[in-house]
Structures are given as structure tokens and as C-alpha cells.
Structure 1
Amino acid sequence: MRIELARSTPPADQIVDQLRGFISSGRLAAGERLPSVRQLARDLSVAPGTVAKAYRALEAEGFLTAKAGGSTRVSSSAGATDRKVLDAARVLSAQCAQSGVDLEDAVRILRAVWDA
């Protein structure tokens, strides 16, 4: 698991989005332990409060479970996305890379065709 932060969005929101994606894609499995708040904050060069905020948001959404003074893990109820959807996403990603379409443009395109 490697989280990358950009300057365009608040770090806590980026952490939430990326961890949500890792869980939904199956890259983080149910029961898997996440780094401590302090460790992830050091790794990302952000304040511990930023990581704690992200973890709390994901816990409220049901993606994570936390034990007081203990570890944070992927919730047993947080499941991966349907295999067909993941396969289609991988095909889209590969086609975008071949065509020189970056992630932000791919998301805009997907949003535009979502309701079409």
C-alpha cells in the first residue's frame, strides 16, 4: 500500500479516498492491519491529526474498525468491489494510459458518462 499526496486536495481527504480505493479494490483485505496514526503521518509527512481524521471518517463509513489504544484494521464488513467492475476499471486505466489520459481527466470523463 502506497499513499501519494498531491497539493490540490486536503491531505485527509486524499488519505480517505486512497484507502477507500485500496479496500474496495481488494488491495487491503478485511481484517488487515493499517499503520498506526503516527507511523502513517511520518510516512506521509503530515500531522498525526490529519491521519486520525481520515481514519475516523473511514471508521464512520464502516471501512475501518479501531480499538482504543490498539490497532486499526479493515472492517470485516468492508468488501471488495465486484470482480467485473474491477476488471473494467483495469481496462479503462490501461486504455487511458495508452491514450495519454491522466487520472483527473479519466474521472471527469467517467462522471460525464455516468448518467448518460
Structure 2
Amino acid sequence: MGENQPVTSTNLKIRIDGSAGAAAPYEQLRAQISEAARAGRLPVGFRLPTVRGFAEELGLAANTVAKAYRALEADGVIETRGRGGTFIAAAADSAAREAAAAAQAFAERAERLGLTFDEATAAVMDALRARFGL
């Protein structure tokens, strides 16, 4: 996408399936943006369209696009800079920060519960094995 080329759902290749069996529109939008960011088709720092503009282009309600953007922000895929716009975030940095915060919260909770280091470690390992099917 060129510097002066406007960002649209067409050049982002966003397609919303309105058929009855399809996922909710906000989830389709979230998944497509997330995948494009992960694959590098939307590079870090890439500015996304405004909520209203994107909604109009896609034929969706502004609340639907806003919900997708909120989910993407919670996942660390995008960052919103207020009136400055919405941008693809450095996902690796965001994921590492979120994992560190979750680990810190767990460590504090384990200490309050009176778990030993070995008990806390075992609990984490059990949860990870279950989650990753190991």
C-alpha cells in the first residue's frame, strides 16, 4: 500500500460473510486483522481506518467495528492513540508484557495462599500441560 493510498477494506482484503452460519461480524473482522498482523501483511505501526469510516465501508454498525478494535487491543494486536488513530502494535512486546504481568499476579496470589515454590511451580506446569495438551 502506497504512502498516499487511502486504507480501505478492499486493500486490507477484509471480507465479512453475512450468511447465517458465519461467525459474528466483529469476530470475522477481529480474526482477519489479527491474522494479517501476525502474517506481516499489516506491519507494526500501520494505521488502521477510523471506526466510523471502516464501519461505513464494510456496511457494519460502528459499534461492531469498535467491538473488534477493543478485542484486538485487549489481545495486544493494535494500540489506540486517542485522536491520533489506531495502529498495529508490536505484538511480541505486548504479549511478553502481558505474560509477565500474569506471572507476577500468579506469584503474588500463590504467596498469599501459602504455597511453596514447588507447589506453585507444579500448579503452573499442570495448567500449561492441560492447556497445550501435553
What stretches of structure 1 move > 4 A for 4+ residues in a row? none
Structure 2 residue corresponding to 1:5, chosen from 16, 33, 51: 16
Structure 1 residue corresponding to 2:47, chosen from 33, 36, 48: 33
TM-score (norm 2): 0.56
Alignment match, 1:89: none
Q: In 2, distance between residues paired with 1:76 and 1:30?
A: 6
Structure 1 residue corresponding to 2:58, chosen from 31, 40, 44: 44
Gaps of 5+ in 1: 80-114
TM-score (norm 1): 0.64
Q: In 2, distance between residues paired with 1:77 and 1:22?
A: 12
Other structure's SS at 1:69 match: helix
1:63–1:78 contact (8 Å) kept in structure 2: no
Structure 1 residue corresponding to 2:91, chosen from 57, 60, 77: 77
Asked which structure has the greater CA Rg, the reply is 2
Q: In 2, distance between residues paired with 1:34 and 1:14?
A: 16
Alignment match, 2:81: 67
Structure of higher RCO (CA pairs closer than 8 Å, 6+ residues apart): 1
Q: 1:68 Cα deviation (Å)?
A: 1.9
Aligned AA for 1:51?
Answer: V
Alignment match, 2:125: none
Gaps of 5+ in 2: 1-11, 94-132
- Say if 1:58 and 1:49 are closer, same or farther in 2 by CA, change over 3 A: same
Q: In 1, distance between residues paired with 2:92 and 2:33?
A: 12
Other structure's SS at 1:53 match: helix
Q: Percent identity?
A: 39
Q: In 2, distance between residues paired with 1:70 and 1:78?
A: 22
Q: 1:73 Cα deviation (Å)?
A: 0.1
Aligned AA for 2:25?
Answer: P
Q: In 2, distance between residues paired with 1:3 and 1:38?
A: 15
